[in-house]
């Protein structure tokens, strides 16, 4: 076995250990996924998860607080609210702000979700209808979701920045994270695995500047920009470790960042 193969084997073993360490129920409380774990019905989880993922930039305490504040305006069941509310019931969202997410964005999100759920049982189809049998990743699903989400003439132009698409070269970090939650079964009870029209092998890693940094330190990523091309490069590398479940390494890369914060990171150079 040559030196490169030996190093790759060590990195895989190290990351697999981090997955086991961090994919635990204790992970839930401090992560945006905890917002969706406050519900049990499939559609409530889908909606809560989508809102939490959409708001997942900035400080985690703020993300959690703002996500819950948005959902509290819907009452006990986000799904019941989305399905049955009247236009006048949206008035409580006219003062909602989260960073650059403004009331106009909130009102359009409500409108689009209502139109979807009145015609469909699950939010899954808004992604899965964009996939073909030969797709190796969820790129087509993300494109279809974005294009379908803004399918009417009155969709605000400003709201488009809150729903990423590979067509803008975005890493689509928040949507890839959301798909991990919804698609990937988790024996530890972290991810939900509610959807079955998308294969977990097609999932892509959520990539932000933090994940980019730790991935580059391991030699898993060479691209300078944290963009769509980098997402595909990084996911291709971790698929060498597990082609059936590449997204599980999101836990490892997150965990590595935590360890590095306390001086426990490992150097494979």
Q: Can you give the pLDDT at residue 4?
A: 67
Residue 265, pLDDT score: 62
Same domain, 185 and 260: no
CA 17 to chain centre: 22
First to last CA, the chain: 17
Q: Which domain covers residue 121, as residue numbers?
A: 33-203
Q: How many domains does the chain have?
A: 2
Partnered with residue 98 across adjacent β-strands are 101
Say if residue 250 is in the same domain as residue 127. Answer: no
What would the two tokens of residue 161 be?
Answer: 């920045």
pLDDT of residue 6: 82
Residue 209: the pLDDT is 87
Residues 246 and 262 in one domain: yes
Same domain, yes or no, for 87 and 99? Answer: yes
What's the pTM value of the predicted model, to 2 decimals? 0.95
What is the pLDDT at residue 106? 98
Query: Do 210 and 198 reside in the same domain of the chain?
Result: no
The angle at the Cα of 62, spanning 193 to 45, to the nearest 5 degrees, equals 25
pLDDT for position 38: 98
135 conformational bin, left if phi > 0, alpha if psi -120 to 50, beta if neither: beta
Tokens coding 13: 């073993």
Which residue numbers in the chain have pLDDT < 50? 262
User: Can you give the pLDDT at residue 261?
Assistant: 62
Instruction: Tell whether 163 and 226 lie within a shared domain.
Output: no
């Amino acid at each position: 076995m040559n030196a490169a193969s030996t190093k790759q084997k060590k990195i895989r073993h190290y990351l697999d250990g981090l997955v086991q360490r961090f994919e635990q129920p204790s992970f839930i409380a401090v992560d945006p996924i905890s917002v969706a774990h406050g519900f049990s019905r499939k559609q409530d989880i889908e909606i809560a998860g989508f809102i939490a993922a959409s708001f997942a930039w900035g400080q985690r305490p703020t993300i959690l607080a703002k996500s819950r504040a948005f959902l509290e305006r819907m009452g006990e069941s986000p799904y019941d609210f989305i399905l049955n509310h009247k236009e006048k019931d949206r008035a409580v969202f006219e003062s909602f702000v989260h960073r650059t997410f403004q009331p106009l964005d909130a009102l359009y999100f409500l409108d689009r979700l209502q139109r979807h759920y009145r015609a469909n049982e699950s939010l899954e189809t808004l992604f899965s209808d964009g996939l073909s049998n030969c797709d190796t990743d969820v790129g087509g699903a993300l494109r279809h979701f974005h294009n379908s989400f803004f399918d009417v003439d009155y969709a605000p132009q400003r709201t488009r920045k809150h729903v990423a698409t590979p067509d803008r070269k975005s890493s689509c970090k928040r949507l890839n994270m959301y798909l991990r939650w919804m698609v990937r079964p988790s024996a530890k009870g972290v991810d939900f695995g509610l959807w079955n029209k998308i294969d977990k092998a097609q999932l892509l890693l959520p990539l932000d500047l933090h994940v980019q940094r730790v991935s580059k330190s391991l030699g898993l990523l060479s691209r300078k920009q944290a963009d769509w091309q980098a997402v595909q490069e990084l996911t291709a590398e971790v698929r060498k470790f597990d082609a059936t479940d590449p997204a599980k390494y999101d836990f490892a890369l997150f965990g590595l960042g935590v360890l590095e914060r306390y001086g426990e990171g490992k150097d494979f150079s």
